[in-house]
Amino acid sequence: MLAKRIIPCLDIKNGRTVKGLNFNNLTDAGDPVKLAAKYYADGADELVLLDISATLEDRETFIDVVRNVAKTIFIPFTVGGGVKSVEQAEKLLKTGADKISINTAAIQNPQLIRQLSEKFGSQCVVVAIDAKATQDGWEVLSHAGTMTTGISVITWAKKCELLGAGEILLTSYTSDGTKSGFATDLTLRVSQTLNIPVIASGGAGIPQHFADIFTKGNADAALAAGIFHFENYTITAVKNFLLEQGINVRN
Amino acid sequence: MTKNVTIGVVQYGAGNQASVINAMESIGMKCVSVNIPSDLALVDKLIIPGVGHAGDAMIRLQSTGLDEAIKQTKLPLLGICLGMQLLGVRSDEGNTNCLSICNFETVRFNILLKVPQMGWNKVKMNNNPLFSGLNKDDWFYFVHSYYVPHVKYSIAQCNYGVEFAAAIQYQNFWGVQFHPEKSGVNGLKLLKNFVELCY
Sign of the dihedral through C-alpha A139, A144, A147, A149: negative
The model's pLDDT over A20-64, given as tens digits with 9 standing for 90+, comes to 655 556 677 789 999 999 999 999 999 999 998 766 666 778 999
Angstroms from A26 CA to nearest CA on chain B: 31
Domain A5-244 is found in CATH 3.20.20.70? yes
Kindly state the average pLDDT of the residues B13-34.
Answer: 88
* Res A52: pLDDT: 85
Catalytic residue selected from A42, A58, A64, A130: A130
CB of A132 closer than 8 Å to CB of A141: yes
DSSP A25-65: EEEEEE-HHHHHHHHHHTT-S-EEEEE---SHHHHHHHHHH
**A86 reaches B (C-beta below 8 A):** no
The model's pLDDT over B77-123, given as tens digits with 9 standing for 90+, comes to 999 999 999 999 999 999 999 999 999 999 999 988 998 899 999 99
Q: Above 90 in pLDDT, residue A2?
A: yes
Cα→Cα distances B113→A95, A123, B77, B116, B161, Å: 32, 16, 32, 9, 7
For chain A, the average pLDDT equals 92
Task: Look at the domain B2-197 and name its fold.
Answer: Rossmann fold (3.40.50)
Q: Above 80 in pLDDT, residue A172?
A: yes
The model's pLDDT over A127-170, given as tens digits with 9 standing for 90+, comes to 999 999 999 899 999 998 889 999 999 999 999 999 999 999 99
* Res B12: pLDDT: 86
Give the pLDDT band of residue A14 (cuts 50, 70, 90): confident
**B13 reaches A (C-beta below 8 A):** no
* Res A61: pLDDT: 84
* Res A23: pLDDT: 53
Kindly state the average pLDDT of the residues B172-190.
Answer: 97
* Res A24: pLDDT: 56
Q: B182 vs A220: CB contact, 8 Å cut-off?
A: no
Q: Above 70 in pLDDT, residue A83?
A: yes
Q: B51 vs A250: CB contact, 8 Å cut-off?
A: no
Q: Is A57 exposed, middle or buried (0-12, 13-18, 19+ CB in 10 A)?
A: exposed
**A130 reaches B (C-beta below 8 A):** no
Domain ranges of chain B: 2-197
Among A235-244, B14-23, B158-167, the minimum mean pLDDT is found in: B14-23
Is residue A130 part of the annotated active site? The answer reads yes
Q: Above 90 in pLDDT, residue B13?
A: no
Give the pLDDT band of residue A121 (cuts 50, 70, 90): confident
Angstroms from B96 CA to nearest CA on chain A: 17
Please tell me the distance from the alpha carbon of residue A173 to that of residue A248, in angstroms, as a whole number: 27
Among A89-93, A98-102, B10-14, B70-74, the minimum mean pLDDT is found in: B10-14
* Res A29: pLDDT: 73
Size of interface A-B (CB pairs under 8 A): 82
Nearest C-alpha in B relative to A75: B182
* Res A229: pLDDT: 84
The model's pLDDT over B136-166, given as tens digits with 9 standing for 90+, comes to 999 999 999 999 999 899 999 999 999 999 9
Please give the angle made by the CA atoms of A142, A92 and A26, to the nearest 5 degrees: 50
Q: B117 vs A71: CB contact, 8 Å cut-off?
A: no
Greater pLDDT, B2 or B126:
B126
The model's pLDDT over B43-83, given as tens digits with 9 standing for 90+, comes to 999 999 987 788 989 999 999 999 999 999 999 999 999 99
Domain ranges of chain A: 5-244
**A196 reaches B (C-beta below 8 A):** yes
Cα→Cα distances B148→A21, A149, B159, Å: 46, 44, 12
Q: Known catalytic residues of B?
A: 81, 179, 181
Cβ-based contacts of B181 with chain A (< 8 Å) = 74
For A74, the closest of B114, B118, B184 (CB atoms) is B184
Give the pLDDT band of residue B2 (cuts 50, 70, 90): low
**B192 reaches A (C-beta below 8 A):** no
ipTM of the complex: 0.92
Nearest C-alpha in B relative to A117: B52
The model's pLDDT over A198-212, given as tens digits with 9 standing for 90+, comes to 999 999 999 999 999
